[in-house]
Amino acid sequence: MPSSAVSKKIENFASDIYIKDSTGENFIENIINTTNLPALLSRLKVVNGDKAILEMGFGEGTITEPLLAAGYEVEIVEGSAKLCDNARERFGSKLKVNCSYFENFTPSRQFNNVLSLHVLEHVDQPADVVRKIHDWVAPGGQVIAVVPNAQSLHRELSVMMGLQEKNDSLSPRDVLVGHQRVFTLDQLAAHFEAAGFEITERFGYFVKVVPNSMMVGWNPDLIKALTSISVQLPPHLLANVGLVATKRAK
């Protein structure tokens, strides 16, 4: 069980970053994630009419809301009591809220779809969490995982310009928003393969060449276009990398 100091840090982070939006940059990620939503929905697997989804983390509910609107039965597992309360206030009985740290969570059922969207960069031990996810996924089911990309164009440019030592060095914004690491796509895949998953798809999205702080004044249509054009570029160059990992059927 995390210490009281860790719990306080998580609650402060939830309040500052998600509820208060202290960076003033959340709208950028929301535009990107909303633009990428059709691609996410196309990857979901409905088996025998079962539309249940386990979503890891709540954030601002940017993904939760459209999933519910599309008719999915969504459960979230969220470690912040403040964000759990926010989720209940917004969605009431439409959403099942499990207020728990991932490391301690055991769901009441297994799921054909688990969403781990920008989660593993925050946790203490990603390999341990991925092994937990394996238990949550039904045989033949899948997890869709997304993390920030260590090889993103903007990180490579920062190294070339001498602004950071290595492409996987944490930027001030990484630290501010609670990132403990960034991943290459191969590193992300290795965690899931080690836990017993089969990688069935790799992908990336959003062409990023400057930090979020320099994008605050950008036209939202430009941010949307830089997300939409992602399908034409190699995933390893994009800001976010992800995969679909399938649990082998028994």
> Does residue 189 form part of some domain?
yes
> Does residue 167 form part of some domain?
no
User: Would you say residue 1 has pLDDT above 50?
Assistant: no
pLDDT at 48: 86
Q: For the residues 174-196, what does the mean pLDDT come to? A: 94
- What does each C-alpha distance from 68 to 55, 107, 148, 159, 238 come to in angstroms? 12, 19, 25, 41, 28
Q: For the residues 76-92, what does the mean pLDDT come to? A: 95
pLDDT in tens, 50-81: 999 999 999 989 999 999 999 999 999 999 99
> Does residue 165 form part of some domain?
no
Per the structure, how many domains does the chain have? 1
The helix, strand and coil proportions of the chain, stated in percent and rounded to the nearest 5, come to 45, 20, 35
User: Would you say residue 47 has pLDDT above 80?
Assistant: yes
pLDDT in tens, 135-156: 999 999 999 999 999 999 999 9
Distance between CA atoms of residues 239 and 230, nearest Å = 10
Average predicted confidence (pLDDT) for the chain = 93
- What does each C-alpha distance from 25 to 29, 31, 151, 217, 234 come to in angstroms? 7, 11, 22, 10, 26
> Does residue 235 form part of some domain?
no
Write out the residue range of the structural domain in which residue 21 sits: 4-148+183-205+240-247
Q: Which contiguous run of DSSP H or E holds residue 183?
A: none
> Does residue 219 form part of some domain?
no
Q: Where are the beta strands (DSSP E) in 79-196?
A: 96-99, 111-117, 137-148
> Does residue 215 form part of some domain?
no
Query: What are 56's two structure tokens?
Result: 């890891």
Distance between CA atoms of residues 157 and 169, nearest Å = 13
Q: What DSSP state is assigned to residue 206?
A: -
CB 152 within 8 A of CB 85: no
Q: Taking the model in full, what pTM does it have?
A: 0.93
Q: Which CATH number do you get for residue 143?
A: 3.40.50.150
Q: Which contiguous run of DSSP H or E holds residue 200?
A: strand 197-205
C-alpha 128: how far from its chain's center? 17
Closest CA to 141 of 8, 60, 247: 247
> Does residue 11 form part of some domain?
yes
> Does residue 66 form part of some domain?
yes
